[in-house]
Structure 1
Amino acid sequence: MKRIATRFFCFFLLTLSLSATAFGFENTLSPTRAYLGVHLEEISKQKAALLGADNAYGSYITRVIPGSAAEKAGLKPLDYVVGIDQHKTDDDTDLEEILEIYEAGSEATLHLFRQGKPMDIKVTFGPKSNESESNKTRSFLGISPADEDDDDDDATVGVAVDVTKESAAAAMGLQDGDVITAINGYTMIDWTDISAIIRSLEPESDVTLSIRRNDETLTKTGKMGKKDSEEYAISSGRLGTGFSWSGSGNWKQAEDQSGDAFLGVNLGTMSKEKAKKLGFSNAYGTYVSSVIPGTGAAKAGLQAFDYIYGVDEYRVGEGQSLSFILRKFSAGQKANIYFIRKGQERNVSVTLSSKNEDYDEDNDWEDDCDRPFLGVSQSHETYADKGVQVNIVEGSTAKEMGMKAGDLLTSINGYPIIDWGDISMALGTIKAGSTVSVDYLREGKKVSASKVIKSVCDARKSTSYNFNFNRSDDKSKEEGWAFKSAPQIVRVNPANVKAKMEDMGKEDVDKLKAQGVTMSGINNLRLEKINLFPNPTKGLFRLQFDLPEKGQTEVKVLNAAGRTIYEYELGNFSGEFSDEVDISQNGVGTYFLQIRQGDKYASKKIVLQ
């Protein structure tokens, strides 16, 4: 089964082990792991309070997987789980960590809140399910978030919506701007709630909506629509709940369209450890390092340091990157982008651009001389917590602020600094001559300072620092090289890229291990005619190979950061394999391909240049 969109994430969301081996092939199908079979989100303290829960550290169920232990136990979307047996979630322990105690087949009691009331449910944990979501007809209400609801950061009851013409919602009498406060008795606090409840309803089933219109409270009843009905087709090419639509009444056809949507962001560094330090519950999101001018992301106001974790009802996960989700959309469609900015969960409506258009990715600097120059370089000390220990350039802005060598830089203009890449990203948002504010630690005490930041030219006049901006690996941690060496992923046209493939070596295996990923470097699988070549028409690469022997086969592609960007389970397979892989949006660089058949491997390094 090819794992795309929500199908892959559902099986791996609640594994017993979160160790490094879970990200490679070893032990990924272990029958001893406890699987619950749900999609989860963390929620704010305000939302937890609105749900009637006295524990703000639980996990919110947004979907229950058919046939899973969760479904058999009677769990439902919008249940809020706060503990298992005697173990309660708290600031240091989340639900996934509690699940590590259990194995498949073990019984437990889940403690949760449903519609504001506490309750207990007994569950028998299952092993990993091999069932996938079917392509059955789905329910369709015909609503989307109203613009005025996009920037509401405070959790309140009710979601303002716009209504699709000739939809189920329109037939019930809903109007643009109506605020939905409940669906079938479930309180609606944000768009996550609406997406979850709509997904759980059957097409043509009865539905009751509580809405607020001006100062009036209304109740609307009717039947859900369905996605393969022309009755609710819309010309805009998008359904209210976020699925592609061809206008022909064929939902499957819409799902399989080319997906030329392009958001327009470059990516910064992110790892599981960094995500945890930043407080992100989902470690597979996209950390924006910069926004490409003229794209949908720029027009919608996305910024550097935004952490994107979802599009409409889809959420990123292991094996389901942002680029995979975007393949479900086409250029010109509107989609709700879910992200975290400075600790606050937000969502914004974006009109997706086309990856085939040309965008001006040049920065505002005429040359290197115009760059802002703070005047820090990284020391050789390393820290497990937030912050980067720095050395200070004489005569620089940092020096004039009072910073000293050994200070631990923790934030720039309010943006958290975890690693050197964050410093580069933060300075990339600043123009020379503007005021920059920093926080740093000196001997454990927090110090804050602000100053007008100098340009490279201005700083050059007052220091003998070497301002040669040619790249050099041994100087990559000096600020002069920060902007050019900052890890950014820029989309590429496959027609202009060469793909080189070779066997993985020990050095490659070690690099992945440093990223927390265990991947075998063995090459003992007999392969014939392996090839990777571009398909410029679709903006993808086609992977082809021939397996002369039969066996349980898996194909996996990871990027240099150890993230799975493609995975395909072929079952008991032999013969010719051919499929398209979307690595063009991940930019030039190194990727790793592993083909496993039984206990034999073909492990390859792919270099796009």
Structure 2
Amino acid sequence: MRFLLLMLTLAFTITFAEAQSSKPFLGITSNKVHPKKAKKLGFDQAYGSYITKVSEGTAAEAAGLKPFDYVTQIGDFPIDEETNLAHALNNYKAGEITTVSFIRNGQAQTRNIALGSVSNRTHDSRPDEEDPFLGVHESHNRLAGVDGVPVNISSNTTADYIGMEDGDIITQIDDYPVIDWHDMTAAIDNRMPGENIAVTVWRDGEEMTMEGRIKSEEHDAPIDRMIDMEYMEVTYADMEEEEMEVVEEILEEDISEMPELIVEDLKLFPNPNIGQFNLTFEVPGQGDVFIMVYSSQGELIINENLPNFSGRFNQSYDLGVNPAGTYYLMVRQGNNVMSKKIIVARS
């Protein structure tokens, strides 16, 4: 009996590995663009995938895709309200050559692309000293008729040094239009500390552009920003359909079609906290468990691998350096997955 169970486990492991190796992987982080934003950006086709990051050594990089390209079609499959990027990719297998259609600077382009494999995917990460930091936080003081992100400025930061002021509305960073917070953070994240950054803002009825070298968060974190982060509330909830689509864009996988992983007694505590909280839950089944938390921009915040795990998980994490907002939690075991959204609010 034990031998039979061992053989069944081995067969399942091989089958799962083969399935993963055949899944296609593009190598981008992207956001679905809904009609209102598509119109503001000048795109005739809504619901495409707006690239915010291209990972090194991937199919997307080899095909020449760049941040802020707007992907509209994979092969014969348009990306629309019914078919997102993950669904379109799932019509192909890793290693196949197809085409990717996109819009760049108002021009439609199509290029050949040799799809990579999910099994070879790596997660981009960089140390704090390589993480660019502008030094702004959203002010919510929007101005009718002006698209962009209204901000307040933290002292002794890049934004402060280049002459930005509280109440400025960021409308463009370098050559990239800024409609919302996603656009702004994507434009910043594609810079390296020490590189020049040009920030265009709306102030007192006119646009103006300020330039300077962007610093890292490690060398730029001001005292007033640390005070803003003193207390946090961290809660979780089920994802809405649109949020599930965001996760599928990030992972380039059709998560909604996967069997649900049974996870019991999920808790986030204590609340309120000063940035550090505990994530705890119980997994009844046994097997390798992967725990991932992504920001809404697709940045991997937490990545845990628990080999041959079963039972209670309890781990402390620090989100104190991350902005308030929505994050996406995924717990995966085999081909089963549990997905929740984590809401971080500051008081």
TM-score, normalization by structure 1: 0.39
- Specify the SS of the correspondent of 2:245: coil
Q: Distance in 2 between matches of 1:27 and 1:155?
A: 52
2:62 alignment partner in structure 1: 72
* Superposed displacement of residue 176, structure 1: 0.8
* Residue 68 (structure 2) pairs with residue 331 (structure 1): no
Instruction: Confirm or deny that 1:94 pairs with 2:89.
Output: no
Counterpart in 2 of 1:428? none
Deviation sequence 1:485-542 (CA, Å, 0-9, x none)? xxxxxx99x9xxxx8x97x5xxxxxxxxxxxxxxxx7xxxxxxxxxxxxxxxxxxxxx
Partner of 2:288: 555
Q: Percent identity?
A: 27
Deviation at 1:165?
0.7
Question: How is 1:329-368 mapped onto 2 (pairs within 5 angstroms)?
Answer: 331-332=273-274
Please give the alpha-carbon distance, in whole angstroms, between the structure 1 residues aligned to 2:289 and 2:116: 25
- How far apart are 1:280 and its partner, in Å? 5.2
Q: Following TM superposition, by how much is the alpha carbon of 1:114 offset from its aligned partner in structure 2, in angstroms?
A: 2.2
Structure 1 residues 181 and 125 mapped into 2: Cα distance closer, same or farther (>3 Å)? same
Q: Distance in 1 between matches of 2:126 and 2:316?
A: 28
Q: Deviations over 1:40-80 (max 9, x none)?
A: 22122011112221111211222222222112222222221
Structure 2 counterpart of 1:148, from 135, 141, 149: 141
**Higher RCO by CA contacts (8 Å cutoff, separation 6 or greater):** 2
- In the alignment, is residue 121 of structure 1 matched against residue 111 of structure 2? yes
Contact 1:59 1:95 in 2 (8 A): yes
Give 1:69-468 correspondences, 5 Å limit: 69-128=59-118, 129-136=120-127, 137-149=130-142, 157-229=147-219, 232-236=220-224, 238=226, 261-264=232-235, 267=237, 275-276=240-241, 281-282=245-246, 331-332=273-274
CA distance in 2 between partners of 1:99 and 1:202 (Å)? 31
Q: Residue by residue, what CA displacement relative to the aligned partner does 1:103-157 show, whole Å, maximum 9, x if unpaired?
A: 11222221112233322233221112343323332111111211324xx9x9963
CA drift at 1:221: 1.0
Q: Distance in 2 between matches of 1:217 and 1:155?
A: 13
For 1:95 and 1:279, how far apart are their aligned partners in 2?
14
State how far apart, in whole Å, the 2-side matches of 1:239 and 1:51 are.
36
- Tell me, what secondary structure is at the counterpart of 1:55? coil
List per-residue Cα deviations over 1:550-581 (Å, max 9, x = no partner): xxxx73179xxxxxx985066xx9xxx9xx94
AA matched with 1:331: N
The answer on whether the counterparts of 1:566 and 1:581 sit within 8 Å (CA) in structure 2 is no
Structure 1 residues 101 and 71: alpha-carbon distance in aligned structure 2, compared to 1, 3 A threshold: same
**Structure 1 unmatched ranges of 5 or more:** 1-24, 246-259, 285-308, 310-315, 334-353, 357-490, 505-520, 522-553, 559-564, 586-591, 596-609
Which residue of the partner structure matches residue 568 of structure 1?
A: 305
Which structure: larger Rg? Answer: 1
Counterpart secondary structure, 1:31: helix
Conserved 8 A contact 1:36-1:68: yes
Return the alpha-carbon distance in structure 2 between the equivalents of residues 280 and 105 of structure 1: 27
Q: Please give the alpha-carbon distance, in whole angstroms, between the structure 2 residues aligned to 1:186 and 1:32.
A: 35
The Cα shift of 1:181 comes to 1.0
Question: Could you say if the C-alpha distance between residues 557 and 83 of structure 1 is closer, same or farther in structure 2, counting changes exceeding 3 Å?
Answer: closer
Equivalent-residue separation in structure 2 for 1:187 and 1:181 (angstroms):
6
Q: Any conservation in 2 of the 1:51–1:115 contact (CA below 8 Å)?
A: no
d(CA) in 1 for partners of 2:102 and 2:218? 35
Instruction: Determine helix, strand or coil for the equivalent of 1:148.
Output: coil
AA partner of residue 133 (structure 1): D
Equivalences for 1:52-67 in 2 at 5 Å? Answer: 52-67=42-57
The 1:174/1:95 distance shift into structure 2, 3 A limit, reads same
User: Structure 2: which amino acid aligns with 1:568?
Assistant: N
Partner of 1:281, secondary structure, is helix
Work out the CA distance in 2 between the residues paired with 1:582 and 1:155: 48
CA distance in 2, matches of 1:135, 1:194: 19
1:96: Cα distance to partner? 1.7
Distance 1:280 1:78 in 2: 21
**Hey, what's the Cα distance between the residues in 1 that align with 2:232 and 2:209?**
38
Q: CA deviation at 1:224?
A: 1.0
Structure that is richer in strand per residue? 2
User: Which residue of structure 2 lines up, in the alignment, with residue 410 of structure 1?
Assistant: none
Provide the alpha-carbon RMSD of the alignment: 4.6
Cα offset, 1:283, TM superposition: 6.3
Name the count of aligned residue pairs: 281
SS of alignment partner, residue 30 of structure 1: helix
